[in-house]
Structure 1
Amino acid sequence: RLYNKNGRDWTTKYWPIALAVDLPCRTAILDGEVIVPGEQGAFDCPALEAAIWNEPNRLVFVAFDILHLDGHDLGSLPLLQRKQALWQLVEPGLGKIQYSEHFEGSALALFRTVEKIGLNGIISKRADSRYRSGLSSTWLKAKKFEEADSRVGGRL
């Protein structure tokens, strides 16, 4: 079953992903995002709505966290331990359910990489943080934006 963050059942809406679920476990609760991959693996946000109705086979679920696994609550574990459990469950690949890689290091280098591959932004989480739904001081969403200089002319 697939649910959105408000608890609505979206299994029918994202049926190709639901049909593709073949994980080596009985039950799991994953946190992630449904996307339509673009060139170089970058997310194609404008294509998402169109794909839902016209090309649902293009939809992919990118898992970036795991909350429960076979009856065990993993939310109190540090992020890096949860990511390790997630990686064992959803090994990196190109299927309908994909593992969201994590990176450690310089924020500036990461932002330059994000810009090069055309992503819209990143989510940063503390490596030692527990899982918390909703806004938290342990994670930050940073979106890319562009600046431009322009001339504006007119008469009074």
Structure 2
Amino acid sequence: MSRWCASAAKANRDTATPTTQVAVSQGTATHQAFYLGYNGPKKSWQFMTTTTEAATTTYPVALGGPAPAAGTWTHLTGVYDADTEVMSLYVNGALTGTADRNATPVYNASGPPTVGANITVGSTSPYDPLTGAVSDVRTFPSALTTAQVKAVYANS
């Protein structure tokens, strides 16, 4: 993905298990360049990135939205804007969280986007699977405005 990016997906969790569950991600050799999904321990949707390929990376995360009920479709959009270095999470078209500035995101991921789990490059073992369904996944080569996110949500 480029330094300006956005990803959107609809997620429907079958169960309310308190685990991390990923709707869409893109792997690097060591971590994930980004992922959109559910943070079970925090009972919140999240858009997370990494700052480096090193083992000591930090994970800036934008959290937001209510804990979803099992069997409910939720539209997620994660946006990273390199001009402001801000990560934003939109849930059902509304801005629900932003992250501290991430000046060094790992957006040169060598892995393809992955739907329904995390996976690192070269691995055949996905982890953090979403127990449910994912639909209408979209990636964009530039950051979306709030109005654009609302339009994507309205047309999904």
TM-score scaled to structure 2, two decimals?
Answer: 0.27
Q: Which has the higher strand share?
A: 2
TM-score scaled to structure 1, two decimals?
Answer: 0.27
Q: Which has the higher contact order (CA 8 A, sep 6+)?
A: 2
Q: Which has the higher helix share?
A: 1
